[in-house]
Structure 1
């Protein structure tokens, strides 16, 4: 009110002195200012489409969906072709923030020279640099043939298991940079099987998760253990020969801690898969993920396990997200793309790739299909996905190639495999190697 008092006496405190103002003149100024503010308010509520597109296409997917509550037109942006092209380009260009410079590994079966699996490391802007890696001879009785679990390394460490593998498989953690490895011991559950039961039953363990718990600075492994009965033997009630063995309550879920070098039973059941298929497991930000079919309703779902809190989330996968579940596609993988869990599938009938991402654990509607790529009739068999959305595959001419999402072009990889038994592995280095 002090400035009004000054105006009454002909003074205006806005950096300078002015001539005396009449009270009526002052009222006219106030009315004019109200009109201007009303006009400015009306103009500020209108945002041209081009400006809105330039702002909204740079938002994270979760924020973009929230802005759909502001305007109906914004809620339909994911159906707008022009907007989605802008959103996809920004999505791919930002992927370097999460895995900038992360090399890939190619695991191939060398049948002619070594007779076992070998690893190659590819790096560079176009993966032009190739180095053959020395693999530890961890599974001598299996001719050093092994599988690398999941998408690849977790904080610099790989989880290896033998090819005789998932039936009471041997597991080893290996850091290629330091060349340190830690064999994982069997759990008490495995040794609890009575000798009389070993004639009839086999302990089968299926790896489901491997990752790094940053809260406890610990590497952890998740698996599902159950009994498999010899089909050629007559049925014998399990209670008669299993006794007090915990395997009588199979399946059992276990989690291994490297820090304590011990297994712990998880007191709940989760959806799992019967056999371990390469590429349907992923790790990201303290969560292990795997694809499976729910045992009751047969609805495909993604299971996400929190390594810090020992809790899991189940996210159904709608048929409109990836039609690979409807047509029973030959190939489907999980990937990590720009900080999101991505579902990548190849439809052999249409020769197209589909890429969908998950925005929120446990929310079916949070799946969003971002890319439909094709037709790519040159693809013989996909073998994996890179950190920036590169799709690697074997062409029908038996050459290795990859599709660049940014340039929408196909480029060759400097290696020609003799067999289709090869796979892309993501390797992220770590300054915190596993301890001896």
Structure 2
């Protein structure tokens, strides 16, 4: 790269810089710009960057760093939301891809927003429709394009509408005639060029809906890890594999399984009793698991919300929220203490900064 600095050492230095610094260093030379824009460097940068979580808190969006050097105490970082704050509330859905967020707004439109560069863009509305059941946001490597997916449900069919940033327009992709299923979560889980959702027809008939961002085709495969006591399920990604977290209310147990290959069987990797998370003096509250997600280090973030039926207490006192970081390596957990109150905190999605060029999105 330079006469005095070996390329390997330069990369080790650059990968530890902020995205703002990298944006400046791209202007140094074509060589530096080519290196920073290279997919290998981008993947290395993402692997070395700490994962944070976007949360809705105190009527705004915040960034939480639960893997900081001092995870026991952390301050939520308020994001500089580019629009009027009234455009979002607790029903807002947030999706993430390559350091860019896709945010649903109250007027049924979408905003794509990069908190680091402060760029944002309002997507055109595909039409006057009710809120979609499921949404997705991801990168299509075949066409080198980012895409937003919105399934619009009508009585006779469910139609996938795909917004292509390359063309700047929505495209009606496919129709699922008379779908008789529902979805566990609106947000699609992105892995490679696929989006995944948990769908179900009944408490005993569940499956995975998989949507290909390149071909705009979908497929279904069974969810064989069903357990009668499961009340909540979440999809996620760990070690570049699709995983599912299931919570059993009766047994107070969290079970996590991974899929080794798309459509193959699930292998259980974690079985965790949640009773060990809650201290004895807190057992007067009925705690339920509200959110489970893996971090970049494959540790587990678990959020509990506890309720107490005591109408003599103030409303805020009848509800408690606790966040724990479970260290999967040594099988230990620690409570993440926040400097502010956790009342109203809601985890939305994982966020990882990236120097990847997103001009395709914001031009």
Q: TM-score, normalised by structure 1?
A: 0.59
Residues 1:385 and 1:417: Cα distance change in structure 2 (over 3 Å): farther
How much does 1:339 deviate? 0.6
Q: Which among 221, 225, 243 is matched to residue 315 of structure 1?
A: 221
Number of residue pairs matched by the alignment:
289
- Specify the alignment match of 1:118 in structure 2: 61
Whether the aligned pair in 2 keeps the contact of 1:332 and 1:346 (CA below 8 Å) is yes
Partner of 1:266: helix, strand, or coil?
strand
Q: Which among 376, 379, 404 is matched to residue 275 of structure 2?
A: 376
How much does 1:209 deviate? 1.6
Whether the aligned pair in 2 keeps the contact of 1:104 and 1:386 (CA below 8 Å) is no
Residues 1:117 and 1:133: Cα distance change in structure 2 (over 3 Å): closer
How much does 1:294 deviate? 4.6
For 1:272 and 1:177, locate their aligned partners in 2 and report how far apart those are by CA, in whole Å.
41
- Specify the alignment match of 2:245 in structure 1: 344
Q: Which has the higher contact order (CA 8 A, sep 6+)?
A: 2
Residues 1:305 and 1:177: Cα distance change in structure 2 (over 3 Å): same
For 2:362 and 2:254, locate their aligned partners in 1 and report how far apart those are by CA, in whole Å.
40
Q: Which among 323, 333, 351 is matched to residue 234 of structure 2?
A: 333
Q: Which among 320, 328, 350 is matched to residue 426 of structure 1?
A: 350
Whether the aligned pair in 2 keeps the contact of 1:255 and 1:265 (CA below 8 Å) is yes
Partner of 1:302: helix, strand, or coil?
strand
Structure 2 matches for 1:184-195, cutoff 5 A?
184-187=123-126, 190=127
For 1:345 and 1:118, locate their aligned partners in 2 and report how far apart those are by CA, in whole Å.
27
Residues 1:294 and 1:258: Cα distance change in structure 2 (over 3 Å): farther
Structure 1 gap ranges (5+): 1-95, 111-115, 192-201, 229-248
Residues 1:355 and 1:286: Cα distance change in structure 2 (over 3 Å): same
Partner of 1:118: helix, strand, or coil?
strand
Q: Answer yes or no: is 1:103 the counterpart of 2:51.
A: yes
Residues 1:399 and 1:310: Cα distance change in structure 2 (over 3 Å): closer
- Specify the alignment match of 1:136 in structure 2: 81
Residues 1:261 and 1:285: Cα distance change in structure 2 (over 3 Å): same
Q: Which has the higher helix share?
A: 1
Q: Answer yes or no: is 1:410 the counterpart of 2:333.
A: yes
Structure 2 matches for 1:84-95, cutoff 5 A?
none
* Residues 216-238 of structure 1: CA deviation (Å, up to 9, x unaligned): 2221111111347xxxxxxxxxx
- Specify the alignment match of 1:155 in structure 2: 98
Whether the aligned pair in 1 keeps the contact of 2:51 and 2:351 (CA below 8 Å) is yes
TM-align CA RMSD: 3.1
How much does 1:286 deviate? 1.2
Partner of 2:117: helix, strand, or coil?
coil
Partner of 1:407: helix, strand, or coil?
coil
How much does 1:424 deviate? 5.2
Q: Which among 297, 301, 305 is matched to residue 211 of structure 2?
A: 305
Larger radius of gyration: 1
For 1:225 and 1:435, locate their aligned partners in 2 and report how far apart those are by CA, in whole Å.
25
- Specify the alignment match of 1:209 in structure 2: 136
Q: Which has the higher strand share?
A: 2
* Residues 318-345 of structure 1: CA deviation (Å, up to 9, x unaligned): 1xx242xx2241x321111001011012
How much does 1:350 deviate? 0.8
Whether the aligned pair in 1 keeps the contact of 2:185 and 2:197 (CA below 8 Å) is no
How much does 1:386 deviate? 2.6
Q: Which among 157, 161, 166 is matched to residue 254 of structure 1?
A: 161
Residues 1:400 and 1:184: Cα distance change in structure 2 (over 3 Å): same
Residues 1:129 and 1:317: Cα distance change in structure 2 (over 3 Å): same
How much does 1:282 deviate? 0.6
How much does 1:383 deviate? 2.1
Q: TM-score, normalised by structure 2?
A: 0.69
Residues 1:227 and 1:181: Cα distance change in structure 2 (over 3 Å): same
For 2:328 and 2:181, locate their aligned partners in 1 and report how far apart those are by CA, in whole Å.
31
For 1:322 and 1:126, locate their aligned partners in 2 and report how far apart those are by CA, in whole Å.
37
Residues 1:172 and 1:337: Cα distance change in structure 2 (over 3 Å): same
How much does 1:98 deviate? 7.7
Whether the aligned pair in 1 keeps the contact of 2:289 and 2:302 (CA below 8 Å) is no
